[in-house]
Structure 1
Amino acid sequence: MKRFFDLLLSLAAAVVLALPVLVVALLVRMTSSGPALYWSDRVGRNNRIFRMPKFRSMRVGTPAVATHLLVDANAHLTPIGSFLRKSSLDELPQLWSILVGDMSFVGPRPALFNQHDLIELRTQLGVHALVPGLTGWAQINGRDELPIPDKVKLDVEYLQRQSLWFDIRILWLTFVKVIRRDGITH
């Protein structure tokens, strides 16, 4: 049922968002050198690595680490990078990852391939068995501001409570947070 929901919603979103996706891609290309998309190596279900696309909000050559680990993240942003991140428009290409089954709309956010502490803790607690999501319980309860143990505790809570209705609730709360720009630091 979850996969059917993801396919149906991602196909509908792809149709509705086709023009905005094209506009954002053109804006990224016009305001900085390099490709419109950045393909990030991420950890998926059962710790399998997959390539996740995002609109590029950082300059070409920025280290592949979590943004909060950069000494001055703002120095690496493209001219429209901050806007893309605050509006969450940089996440739109992840519809592709949902369509091909690497991601779901709701689940734990996929870790970067080099976030070993996060990956290890999720594996110990069984969270690695979930398909990662565009948004998740931890995302709406603190996003990047959460320490890893707290984030994983929320991921475990999602693992235990997961249902279609809980996913719908998380999607709604995500929409509200994006509109309010809550929990976005860059």
Structure 2
Amino acid sequence: MTVSPPSIRSSTVQLTPLRSKGWHYTWCNKQDTGSRVYNKIDWALGDFLWLQQSGQQQNLHPKPFRFFPNVMEHPNFSNILKQVWTTDESDHPMENAWCKLKKLKLQIKDINRYMASYQQKLGLAREELAIIQDQLQNQMLNQELFNKEKKLVLEIAKWSNITEQALRHKARATWVESGDGNSKYFHA
């Protein structure tokens, strides 16, 4: 089956289809044998200038520590929080709170490393899904592969939600740094 990108006047816009990772088909109706349909419906296009700019990444400043809400989903988070918060470092309340937050930050850095593996787990799940879908190209009626595919799709959805949560938090932090309040006034 030959699939071509949407028709665009390439002489005026000069867009080219971008390479994609993974399986060639981007949509499947996830039906069982006999009524399964595969199709490529997603196309990404870019011009030379955009390709050139997206290849350049600037990392001028080290990343500051940020507390992301998905860290609270770690199984050890509540125990670490209780352990740090029950200690008293000073007689002054503000200094005590500052010391507790500093200790908590050190403990959470370890959890952040674990939480960073969510992106790795998402990548691994996507790779496994690509392998299963490659096998499905050769064995299109294999029910066991259908079941594995469904399981991996659910796993990818789970890790994608966690990643989206982290990105949403990062975006809000950027708005706050820029002086935007993410309010009705800002969006109006």
TM-score in terms of structure 1 length: 0.22
Structure (1 or 2) with the larger CA radius of gyration: 2
Higher relative contact order (CA 8 A, sep 6+): 1
